[in-house]
Structure 1
Amino acid sequence: MKKMADGSIGADGSDEAILWRQTKVDLAARALGGDVLSASDDFFAEKDNLLLDSEPVFLPEKYTAYGKWMDGWESRRRRTGDHDWVIVRLATHGMVEGVEVDTRHFKGNAPGAVQLEYIASESDPDEQSQWQTMSARMAVEADHRNLIRLDQPVEATHIRLTIFPDGGVARLRVYGKILFNTQHLLPNEPVDLSALMNGARPVSCSDAFFSPMQNLLRPGRGADMHDGWETRRRRTGGHDWMVIRLASPGKVGRVEIDTLHFKGNYPDRGSLEGCYFEGEVPDDKTDWHPILSEQKLHAHRNHSFVENLKNTQEIYTHVRLNIFPDGGVSRLRVIGQPESAK
């Protein structure tokens, strides 16, 4: 059992951290635009490793001119009684719900404790920045996925992780929700209501065996099959699906289903439904409306649908992508008019 940052006692933090990694948005992800700005010291292992999308690894035989190679950020041993720190700029404004300080493979060289601070600013921090406490100084475990859950979400653009007194951290994940920003939208400008960067987020799916749900909503086109949403092969009938909470309630004008890189494992067909639901995850009583009826899909292709769409004057808060029977989709785009921009 492990004491959490909010004082509660729960199951091993690694289990919950794995769940958060699969279901929540990492606001610091480099794929979304997160960046490591500075660090007090990264003598043994570079600070930029903190935001790598890959899981940390340990290579017993690998050394560098500075010492043992480690997959993370590691400072030298302090002899002055001070502490080390690193500053991360988040991909965009967001509401931070929790932070994972992953010390996997750092067994005899992990920090003894950490503290988290934040600011919300359009500018990068400087010596005059007024950092606010996100979590008080707390002990962390070595070789462990330490999940720090916040009592209340905080709006942030930058995070400062302080480690006491020194040591190594493999990965830093900042979990939360991206805020939908309409400040720079033109009147009646179409918006990708399903874009992760606009604040959309997946809330449930039938299966995400090969990759996390949020990959489907990432910016740009997928880099490879790993950078998409792929389900396992169905052997019992039925079909796979994913439910997405849109960045804003709105009308749908165009749908894109991109199967880039999925050549022998793309879905045979796809469809889209929508609903209006006040909560996070629509329940069994939710009335779903067809937006796009079943359409034949093809390998390694971006499919765009406009004329085939139905119920385009309805306002939706959620959409459900159905794929038949299973397979992989690189990206989903739901282009429309956000209600909040009117």
Structure 2
Amino acid sequence: MGNVISSQKHHYLKTKELKETGFESLIEVSSCVRGAIIELVSDDSCGDAINLLKAAKVDRSLNLDDLGDNTDGWLTKRHESAGSATVTLCNDSKIVGIDIDTTGFTDSCPSCASVEGYQYSTMTHLFSYNQWQVVLPQSRINADSHNFFSIKDTNVYSSVRLNIVPGGGIARFRVYGEISPDWSDTSKDYNLASANLGARIVRWTDQRNANNPSILFDNGTEISDGWLTPRSRFGEGRNDFILIQLATAGILESITIDTTGFGANLPENVFIQGCYSEDIDPHHDQFASWTCLVSYGPVGPADETVFYNSYKKPVTHIRLYLIPDGGIQQIKVMGKPSKKDKKQPLLIQPSAKEKSIQDWVKKQEDKVVGAMIDQYNKRSAVEQLNVVDHTTNRSKRLRSD
């Protein structure tokens, strides 16, 4: 393919489906839902650049020609030799994947695109610098299509700049990566369950009937923005749960349950557990031990209910149960980042008695080896050479056999 660019750091993916890229497990750090914004644009006379960051799928019919006024993408005016749009990411992030989506743009699609990242670096206490780094060099892109690129880059960026040649139309610009927040202020309490700091939902019950939960965002006001479970039937409670990997391990101060928008659909109680695990999903960690953080606590309608925590060991995951069913808008887990504990070894440690036996055996082996070396050193130089020659000849005979 003439429009494929490939190198050790940048690779064009031939697939047109997100699920085949491996980016689904990453965070879309350029989404306006997470707070990403258009910082600067060279020209968007024919299509607003904010469309690049929309979470909704592209309405292809709006981009097929220039006759309509409602373009669902970023479109520059005609005869522009180039165009650029600068995006402030939701947080400082490492970039792993990019999608330059040109759905609906055929004749007005640019020929090439490139991406730069804005990096802040401190070399010394007295000197620091800001600069743009090439994340994706100028590459050919396809019209009316997804253009996925995998990126290998260890740098952390706060903003990215999409450049197109010539000017034209881009429907969506999605940047997938790993958020790298600044935890340097150890005196500050952070919302460790914030999606913008890197927290994520790794498991929840009844994925077929329950809505896709989004309780890690702080901009929800309606039921569709939160998490609502199906109603219980036949007098039995559902007790659905959601499992959250916190942004980092932390000592928790409080847990807030926000029920804004759930005045008539809130649960009667919540039950919350916490654990420490280095696995993404602690359900696969045989050493994960769950501790009760909130035991059957009632929550108020369309309000924030705060539960203060007395457990003072590091926690990496939260498991929230809604009893017997209902919904919430958001969960906030306030706490201070902590150093991670060393993971418990998989092998069972020997008992004190077994260890003493092992130490005794090792000492005996050392004595035997030491005696052999002493006996060898007491021989004359001629005798030592004879031993070496005898050993060498014996090895040669074994190889020849």
- Scaled to the shorter chain, the TM-score interval is 0.7 to 0.9
Give, in whole Å, the separation in 1 of the partners of 2:202 and 2:130.
35
Provide, for residues 43-62 of structure 1, a one-character-per-residue CA deviation record: whole Å limited to 9, x for no partner: 21121222234333356699
Which residue does 2:149 correspond to in 1? Answer: 148
Which residue does 2:289 correspond to in 1? Answer: 287
Provide, for residues 92-112 of structure 1, a one-character-per-residue CA deviation record: whole Å limited to 9, x for no partner: 212222222222333443333
Which residue of 214, 221, 224 corresponds with 1:223?
Answer: 221
- Matched position secondary structure for 2:261: coil
What is the Cα deviation at residue 152 of structure 1? Answer: 4.0
What is the Cα deviation at residue 149 of structure 1? Answer: 2.4
Give, in whole Å, the separation in 1 of the partners of 2:79 and 2:230.
48
Which residue does 2:243 correspond to in 1? Answer: 243
- Matched position secondary structure for 2:155: strand
State whether residues 17 and 145 of structure 1, in contact with CA within 8 Å, keep that contact through their aligned partners in structure 2: no
Which residue does 1:37 correspond to in 2? Answer: 39
Give, in whole Å, the separation in 1 of the partners of 2:267 and 2:294.
15
State whether residues 16 and 148 of structure 2, in contact with CA within 8 Å, keep that contact through their aligned partners in structure 1: no
Q: Which has the higher strand share?
A: 1
- Matched position secondary structure for 1:154: coil
Give, in whole Å, the separation in 1 of the partners of 2:204 and 2:118.
34
What is the Cα deviation at residue 257 of structure 1? Answer: 1.2
Give, in whole Å, the separation in 2 of the partners of 1:55 and 1:210.
21
Provide, for residues 158-206 of structure 1, a one-character-per-residue CA deviation record: whole Å limited to 9, x for no partner: 11112232321122222223223233453xx433221223332323333
Q: How does 1:1-342 map to 2 (within 5 A)?
A: 7=11, 11-16=15-20, 20=24, 24-57=26-59, 68-78=69-79, 82-121=81-120, 130-186=131-187, 189-207=188-206, 212-213=212-213, 215-219=214-218, 222-231=220-229, 238-284=238-284, 285=286, 286-306=288-308, 309=309, 312-340=311-339
State whether residues 101 and 173 of structure 1, in contact with CA within 8 Å, keep that contact through their aligned partners in structure 2: yes
State whether residues 4 and 147 of structure 1, in contact with CA within 8 Å, keep that contact through their aligned partners in structure 2: no
- Matched position secondary structure for 2:279: coil
State whether residues 100 and 148 of structure 1, in contact with CA within 8 Å, keep that contact through their aligned partners in structure 2: yes
- Matched position secondary structure for 2:156: strand
Change (3 A) 1:281 1:152: farther
What is the Cα deviation at residue 329 of structure 1? Answer: 1.9
State whether residues 14 and 144 of structure 1, in contact with CA within 8 Å, keep that contact through their aligned partners in structure 2: no
Task: Give unmatched runs, 5+ long, in structure 2.
Answer: 122-128, 341-401
Range 92-101 or range 292-301, more displaced:
292-301
Change (3 A) 1:337 1:173: same
Change (3 A) 1:272 1:56: same
Instruction: Using structure 2 for the length normalisation, give the TM-score.
Output: 0.68
Provide, for residues 257-278 of structure 1, a one-character-per-residue CA deviation record: whole Å limited to 9, x for no partner: 1121123433343221111111
Q: Which amino acid aligns with 2:40?
A: S
- Matched position secondary structure for 2:252: strand
What is the Cα deviation at residue 131 of structure 1? Answer: 2.3
Task: Give unmatched runs, 5+ long, in structure 1.
Answer: 123-127
How many residues align structurally?
Answer: 323
What is the Cα deviation at residue 73 of structure 1? Answer: 0.5
Q: Tell me which of the two structures has the higher relative contact order, counting C-alpha pairs closer than 8 angstroms and 6 or more residues apart.
A: 1
Range 197-206 or range 254-263, more displaced:
197-206
State whether residues 17 and 146 of structure 1, in contact with CA within 8 Å, keep that contact through their aligned partners in structure 2: no
Q: Which has the higher helix share?
A: 2
- Matched position secondary structure for 2:91: strand
What is the Cα deviation at residue 256 of structure 1? Answer: 1.0
What is the Cα deviation at residue 157 of structure 1? Answer: 0.9
- Matched position secondary structure for 1:226: helix
- Matched position secondary structure for 1:95: strand
State whether residues 215 and 330 of structure 2, in contact with CA within 8 Å, keep that contact through their aligned partners in structure 1: yes
Give, in whole Å, the separation in 2 of the partners of 1:138 and 1:268.
55
Give, in whole Å, the separation in 1 of the partners of 2:94 and 2:333.
23
- Matched position secondary structure for 2:215: helix
State whether residues 14 and 146 of structure 1, in contact with CA within 8 Å, keep that contact through their aligned partners in structure 2: no
What is the Cα deviation at residue 288 of structure 1? Answer: 1.8
Change (3 A) 1:130 1:330: same
Give, in whole Å, the separation in 1 of the partners of 2:136 and 2:251.
40
What is the Cα deviation at residue 9 of structure 1? Answer: 5.8
Change (3 A) 1:62 1:100: closer
Instruction: Using structure 1 for the length normalisation, give the TM-score.
Output: 0.79
Give, in whole Å, the separation in 1 of the partners of 2:42 and 2:120.
21
Give, in whole Å, the separation in 1 of the partners of 2:108 and 2:298.
54
Percent identity between matched residues is 26
